[in-house]
Amino acid sequence: MDRRKFVRSALLSGSVLGAPIQIYKKDDKDSMKGKNKQRQWYELRTYFFANDAQRQLTGAYLEQAALPALNRAGIGNIGVFSEWQPQGSGKMYLLIPFESIDSFAAVNEKLAHDESYLKAGEAYLSAPATAPAYERIESSLLKAFVHMPLIEVPEKKERLFELRCYESPSEAAGQKKITMFNDAGEVDIFKKIGARPVFFGETMIGERRPNLIYMLCFDNMEAHDARWKAFGSDPEWKKISGMPEYSDALLISRITRTFLVPTGYSQV
């Protein structure tokens, strides 16, 4: 079979970017005191590499094929990040915002019929088993929080991103923690003290559920430390965190944080 035909067939079957998933109501909107706000969906993808050749091949694919094709498909503000202090060949992180779950479900078919994408990405898409483009991909599908329904892209200057994952001991605890961000005002405190939020999302499909994932942006590590110090001493935060129902001991079982820097072609 012709390699491009094979890749197109794989895309249409959902084996490259993820199969369509039916987990939604047709009108995916949430009522907020009389106002309807569309909440985005995010795919957060991690590429694992065994060597620099894999990293370079995947990076070229993302820059020259994937991002341009996704932009042509109407998907923008795509983030591509490397680890701030990588060990070995490290990892790459890809953040793709979708306006709806329908947009996520339709993306494979759009790419499968994009001849420019298939040509530009051929080396990656047709990489042989003896020289794969990566070791493995892990991917999560997130739904944006009600209080921050859309991605917020920071200014394009020196920037350091912190990706935080909060695992909860139960679904009920996870929902309570989300309420703490949405209704109790935790998202607003981040904005007030200058820790620039990029997105907040509940993991609908992915590893280590139940969990929520969010991303903050800082100028550098010194600014990161100063902003978190300001957060911890903020009167509103002290009030919220002092409420018994919001105790971390009840709502959080594990926190994982990852520091990231954007690639030169990242749109975030």
pLDDT of 24 strictly over 50:
no
70 and 60 in a single domain? The answer is: yes
At 26 the pLDDT is 42
The total of structural domains in the chain comes to: 2
Q: What pLDDT was estimated at residue 8?
A: 58
**What pLDDT band is residue 35 in, cutting at 50, 70 and 90?**
very low
In this prediction, residue 114 has a pLDDT band, given cuts at 50, 70 and 90, of very high
For residues 188-217, average pLDDT: 96
Span of 6-10, 48-52, 57-61, 234-238 with lowest mean pLDDT: 6-10
The C-alpha atoms of residue 229 and residue 247 are separated, in whole angstroms, by: 19
Which percentage of the chain shows pLDDT scores above 70? Answer: 86
Q: Are residues 154 and 215 in the same domain?
A: yes
Q: Is 7 among the domain residues?
A: no
Enclosing domain of residue 211: 145-262
Q: Under 8 Å CB-to-CB from 257, ≥6 apart: which residues? A: 162, 163, 164, 165
pTM comes to 0.86
Instruction: Please report the pLDDT score of residue 4 as a whole number.
Output: 60
Angle subtended by helix axes 101-112 and 3-13, to nearest 10 = 170
Per this entry, what is the length of the chain?
Answer: 268
Does the residue 26 lie in any domain? no
How far apart, in Å, are the Cα atoms of 248 and each of 166, 175, 200?
10, 13, 18
**CATH number of residue 188's parent domain:** 3.30.70.100
The answer to whether residue 196 scores a pLDDT higher than 90 is yes
pLDDT the model gives residue 221: 97
pLDDT of amino acid 83: 95
Residues 168-195 have a mean pLDDT of: 95
Q: Return the bridge partners of 93, or none.
A: 46, 81
Summary count for the chain: helices (H), strands (E): 11, 10
Side chain identity at 10, as an amino acid letter?
Answer: A
Work out the pLDDT band at 86, boundaries 50, 70, 90: confident
Tell me: do 136 and 165 sit in the same domain: no
pLDDT at 89: 76
- pLDDT confidence of 90, banded at 50, 70, 90? confident
Which of 5-19, 133-147, 209-223 is least confident? Answer: 5-19
Q: Are residues 202 and 256 in the same domain?
A: yes
Q: Are residues 108 and 187 located together in one domain of the fold? A: no
| 90 vs 100, higher pLDDT | 100
- In degrees rounded to 5, what are phi and psi of residue 24? -145, 160
Query: Does residue 199 sit within a domain?
Result: yes
Q: Do 87 and 151 belong to one domain?
A: no
